[in-house]
């Protein structure tokens, strides 16, 4: 039995992720070598942005944020330049931090994502087409059977939402707005923080993740770039070995270009990762991260969506 959840782009945490990546994209557009580590908290007519940015670009951050959340929001911005003691390791091509990044691929679905995760995401996306507001889905499977589906969506009526959900997925039990119908959502109802939906961003709760968040970070932060690379490696090995399940793990030390560990497990058999340049620069070039619009990754999960690391 497995369960996975998903949330819409109007969920407070995902709105913060979207803001963080919008700020990152704005800096990279003006300076492709921008160093960004942007953290966002928002809610109740206030957005606070803090972090480290070293860039030749000077985008209008307040205008970007208000374009996303509305003109009535107060925006507090506090940026400092990247620590020179961190930069001295990054400038020579080293990783921006230590950490362990995991990648995963399974043959359960056409896009190599876990079945319970993909069911929750697809359902969330389909409901969002009719109710483009704050909302969540959750799907529990027991083998091939869908045991329980949960759908909670702002501004929806149970009498309309239930038949809509049933038209997309067949289950033993449906829990529709189980706490009651609701109209107050998003930043009006709750605060959000960037990097707080890590399991949704990755593969769901059945798959181990490294722990680092993605949004608001440039490629030198291996929390992001190496997680993308680990996914690419997992997909490649799944296809090459005609495997059922592959997990990849890469570990780095701050300031060092090459990982201290790189391994892949193919259907339970562990082996070394070979044939890839796993330095931050190598990852950027191989996955063409200079051409990625990072805002596009922030809303519906970072994997299984035909990005360069999924192909």
CATH number of residue 167's parent domain: 3.30.300.10
Tell me the pLDDT band of 83, cut-offs 50, 70 and 90.
confident
Tell me the pLDDT band of 1, cut-offs 50, 70 and 90.
very high
The gap between the terminal CA atoms of the chain, to the nearest Å, is 29
**Of 185, 200, 224, which closes a domain?**
185
- Rounded CA-CA distance 249/263 in Å is 5
| Domain co-membership, 18 together with 55 | yes
Domain count, the chain: 2
- Average pLDDT, stretch 131-158? 98
Write out pLDDT tens, residues 161-175: 999 999 999 999 999
- Rounded CA-CA distance 43/262 in Å is 40
Could you give the percent of the chain with pLDDT greater than 70? 100
- Mean predicted lDDT score pLDDT of the chain: 96
- Rounded CA-CA distance 21/215 in Å is 5
- pTM score of the predicted model: 0.96
User: Does 231 map to a domain?
Assistant: no
| Domain co-membership, 58 together with 121 | no
Alpha helices by DSSP H, listed for 33-76, are 61-69
User: Does 110 map to a domain?
Assistant: no
Is pLDDT at 24 greater than 80 in this prediction? yes
- Average pLDDT, stretch 235-257? 97
> Please, are residues 136 and 151 in contact by the beta-carbon 8 Å criterion?
yes
- Average pLDDT, stretch 217-241? 97
Write out pLDDT tens, residues 167-226: 999 999 999 999 999 999 999 999 999 999 999 999 999 999 987 899 999 999 999 999
Interacting residues of 8 by C-beta distance below 8 A, sequence separation 6+:
14, 124, 128, 132, 133, 134, 135, 136, 153
- Rounded CA-CA distance 88/129 in Å is 47
Q: What is the pLDDT of residue 181?
A: 98
Handedness of CA 215, 196, 69, 181 (dihedral sign): positive
User: Does 218 map to a domain?
Assistant: no
Tell me the pLDDT band of 8, cut-offs 50, 70 and 90.
very high
User: Does 127 map to a domain?
Assistant: yes
User: Does 129 map to a domain?
Assistant: yes
Is pLDDT at 91 greater than 80 in this prediction? yes
Is pLDDT at 77 greater than 90 in this prediction? yes
Is pLDDT at 35 greater than 80 in this prediction? yes
**Of 147, 170, 185, which closes a domain?**
185
Q: What are the distances in angstroms from CA 5 to CA 106, 152, 160, 205, 244?
A: 18, 11, 21, 9, 23
φ/ψ bin of 270: left (φ > 0), alpha (ψ from -120 to 50), beta (otherwise): beta
- Rounded CA-CA distance 292/2 in Å is 32
User: Does 270 map to a domain?
Assistant: no
φ/ψ of residue 275, rounded to 5: 90, 10
**Of 139, 166, 185, which closes a domain?**
185
- Rounded CA-CA distance 21/121 in Å is 20
User: Does 164 map to a domain?
Assistant: yes
Q: What is the pLDDT of residue 97?
A: 87
Residue 164 structural domain: 2-9+115-185
User: Does 207 map to a domain?
Assistant: no
φ/ψ of residue 38, rounded to 5: -110, 125
Partners of residue 271 on adjacent β-strands: 264
Q: What is the pLDDT of residue 96?
A: 86
């Amino acid at each position: 039995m497995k369960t996975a959840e998903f949330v819409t782009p109007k969920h407070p945490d995902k709105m913060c992720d979207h803001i963080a990546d919008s700020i990152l994209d704005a800096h990279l557009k003006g300076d492709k070598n921008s160093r960004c580590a942007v953290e966002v908290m928002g809610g109740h007519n206030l957005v606070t942005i803090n972090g480290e940015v070293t860039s030749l670009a000077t985008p209008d951050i307040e205008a970007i944020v208000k374009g996303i959340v509305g003109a009535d929001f107060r925006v507090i911005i506090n940026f400092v330049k990247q620590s020179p003691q961190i930069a001295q390791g990054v400038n020579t091509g080293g990783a921006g931090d230590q950490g362990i990044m995991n990648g995963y691929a399974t043959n359960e679905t056409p896009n190599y994502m876990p079945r319970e995760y993909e069911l929750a995401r697809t359902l969330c996306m389909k409901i969002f087409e009719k109710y483009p507001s704050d909302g969540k889905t959750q799907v529990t499977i027991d083998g091939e059977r869908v045991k329980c589906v949960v759908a909670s969506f702002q501004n929806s009526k149970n009498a309309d939402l239930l038949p809509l959900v049933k038209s997309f997925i067949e289950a033993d039990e449906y829990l529709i707005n189980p706490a009651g119908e609701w109209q107050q959502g998003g930043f009006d109802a709750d605060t959000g923080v960037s990097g707080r939906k890590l399991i949704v961003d990755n593969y769901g709760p059945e798959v181990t993740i490294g722990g680092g968040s993605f949004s608001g970070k440039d490629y030198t932060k291996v929390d992001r770039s190496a997680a993308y690379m680990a996914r690419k490696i997992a997909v490649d090995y799944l296809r090459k070995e005609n495997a059922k399940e592959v997990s990849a793990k890469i570990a780095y030390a701050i300031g060092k270009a090459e990982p201290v560990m790189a391994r892949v497990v193919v259907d339970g058999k562990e082996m070394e990762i070979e044939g890839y340049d796993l330095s931050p620069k190598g990852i950027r070039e191989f996955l063409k991260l200079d051409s990625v619009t990072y805002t596009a990754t922030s809303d519906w999960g970072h994997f299984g969506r035909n990005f360069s690391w999924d192909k």
